Amino acid sequence: MKQVFTRPKSLKQAVFHYCPGCGHSIVHRLICEVIDEMGIRGKTMGVPPAGCAVLAYNYFDVDMLEAPHGRGCAVATGLKRVLPDRVIFSYQGDGDLAAIGTAETFHAANRGENITVFFINNAVYGMTGGQMAPTTLLGQSTTTSPPGRNALLDGHPVKMSEILSHLDGTVYIERCAVNSPARILQTKRAIRKSFTYQIEGRGFTLLEVLSHCPTNWKMTPVESCKWVEETMTRHYPLGVIKDIPGAEKEKKDK
């Protein structure tokens, strides 16, 4: 019998602690599938954040170094500069990357550190119980914006990917989602592209993934997938935001 589907080797035999319907476990699996397919498990190293994915080292079967809250890109910088031939990724949520770790992210991107960042945007602080995140949408109710996020009082949802795309150090930025099979497959392609560019030494790559959070959004998993599609993507449009190596290749092919 031919086996057509199995657990990726880079994903440990552990039960995810994530809530039912959470997007993290999908992204974890996709990253591990790509690591397996590219045959880079032995030289890939991850930096988990503080937040829902803080226990990521229990799932990824690669060497991992935990970063203090928001400092993923600084820690990854230290690893990568000492070990330039390793594939280094930082896995961060929206609070981690776009609030407390904004400076570390922005400047690692600006230095063009040759690392890959997986930026999981679920528009909420998940681990701490559903507080307002920098990416929370206007009008979105959270435990710290109960009547809905009000731009006058709470500021605006941050488009980190667009901001970072203006920096000369970034080479590839794409926004994906994991709310449908088609979107999941596109996310996997983007993960592979990020790692490929890093191995080619191109520079800073970041993949933003709109990820559903049924628990804190107080929705069913199905409703939350729909909310990503119909509401989140209106403020955070999906697609490639910047792809310098891709554009170069296209030019060459012409």
Partner 1 sequence: MNKILIQGNRVIGEAAIRAGCRFYAGYPITPQNELTEYMADNLRKAGGTFIQGESEIASVNMILGASAAGARVMTSSSSPGISLKQEGISSMAADELPGVIVNMMRGGPGLGNISPSQGDYFQATKGGGHGDYRVIVLAPASVQELADLTMDAFDLADEYRNPVMILADGMIGQMMEPVLFKTPKPRSYSEKFHLRGCGEGKSKFIRGLILDPLHEEEHNWKLHRKYKTIIAREPRHETFRTEDADFLVIAYGTAARVAKGAIKRARESGIRVGLLRPITLWPFPSDAVRSFAGKASKFLVFEMSTGQMLEDVQLALGNSEKIHFYGRPGGVVPAPVEVAKIIAQHA
How far is C-alpha 79 from the chain's CA centre?
19
Minimum distance, C-beta of residue 196 to partner 1, in the bound complex (Å): 18
Verify binding: residue 11, partner 1, rule CB under 8 A.
no
Nearer to partner 1, 21 or 101 (CB): 101
Give the C-alpha distances (Å, rounded to integers) separating 28 from 7, 121, 189. 12, 14, 14
Burial 61-90, CB ≥16 within 10 A → b, else e: bbbbbbbebbbbbbbbbebbeeeeebbbbb
Verify binding: residue 64, partner 1, rule CB under 8 A.
yes
**Sheet architecture: strand order including 204-210:** 44-47, 87-93, 116-121, 204-210, 170-177, 239-243
DSSP one-letter code for 179:
S
Nearer to partner 1, 36 or 63 (CB): 63
From the list 55, 199, 219, 244, which residue makes contact with partner 1 (rule: CB under 8 A)?
A: 55
Report the alpha-carbon distance of residue 247 to residue 252 in Å, rounded: 9
Name the segment binding partner 1 (CB under 8 A); options: 74-82, 116-124, 166-174, 220-228. Answer: 74-82
Verify binding: residue 78, partner 1, rule CB under 8 A.
yes
Name the segment binding partner 1 (CB under 8 A); options: 69-77, 117-125, 144-152, 229-237. Answer: 69-77
Burial (CB count within 10 angstroms: exposed 0-12, middle 13-18, buried 19+), residue 55: middle
Name the segment binding partner 1 (CB under 8 A); options: 1-9, 70-78, 222-230, 242-250. Answer: 70-78
Verify binding: residue 14, partner 1, rule CB under 8 A.
no
From the list 27, 31, 76, 228, which residue makes contact with partner 1 (rule: CB under 8 A)?
A: 76
Verify binding: residue 117, partner 1, rule CB under 8 A.
no
Report the alpha-carbon distance of residue 198 to residue 201 in Å, rounded: 5
Verify binding: residue 63, partner 1, rule CB under 8 A.
yes
Q: Count of CB atoms within 10 A of residue 1's CB?
A: 3
Verify binding: residue 60, partner 1, rule CB under 8 A.
yes
CB-based contacts of 42, cutoff 8 Å, min separation 6: none
Verify binding: residue 27, partner 1, rule CB under 8 A.
no
Which residues contact partner 1 by CB under 8 A?
41-45, 47-48, 50, 54-55, 57, 60-68, 71, 74-83, 86, 103-104, 106-107, 111
